[in-house]
Amino acid sequence: MSAPLDRGQIESFLFREARLLDERRFRDWVALFTDDGAYWVPAAAGQSTPFGQASLFYDDRDLMRTRVERLEHPLIHVQNPPSRTAHLIGNIEIEAAPAADPALDLPPSDVLVHASLLMAEYRLDVQRLFAGRQRHWLRVVDGQLRIVRKRVDLVNSEAAFEAMAVPI
């Protein structure tokens, strides 16, 4: 990291990510990730690794792109009509990123950001609410913040879910 990141830069980045998801600009959202980036939503509270146990999502960039292509397909049944979402991010805390950890498939990052998350999803006259804590391991690449890892721990991760098609 060439210069320290300030709180405003990091908050703006998180708010922009939320807006991209709400505007269904999924390709732009995927572009926020580093080439070695991944998106993880554990299926169990306290899950320490995405390996050896099922996850709700564990997508590297290639799988994220595949998911986006499916979401954009005009005949995808789980998104016809498409979901409308509103993400609310708060309680943001910033700390130095831990060292890379090959056992967790965690490459080096510059900063670790904790935040609370609420996402309302509306589709087919049904509104669902997802709440949890998220962590972003961020790295500066060519002067821009990028996501190395995003982990979302839902408060009800063990609950039965209908199909979750859009990223949280």
160 belongs to a structural domain: no
pTM to 2 decimals? 0.89
137 belongs to a structural domain: yes
- Please give the residue range of the domain that contains residue 136: 7-154
1 belongs to a structural domain: no
Closest CA to 113 of 89, 97, 126: 97
147 belongs to a structural domain: yes
In this model, does residue 2 exceed pLDDT 60? no
Mean residue pLDDT of the chain comes to 89
15 belongs to a structural domain: yes
159 belongs to a structural domain: no
Q: How many domains does the chain contain in total?
A: 1
167 belongs to a structural domain: no
Mean pLDDT of the 159-167 span: 73
98 belongs to a structural domain: yes
Mean pLDDT of the 10-36 span: 96
Q: How confident is the model at residue 117 (pLDDT cuts 50, 70, 90)?
A: very high
In this model, does residue 52 exceed pLDDT 60? yes
What one-letter code names the amino acid at 49?
Answer: T
The contacts found for 78-81 with CB under 8 angstroms, 24 or more apart, are 78/163, 78/165, 79/123, 79/165, 79/166, 81/123, 81/124
CATH (domain of 118): 3.10.450.50
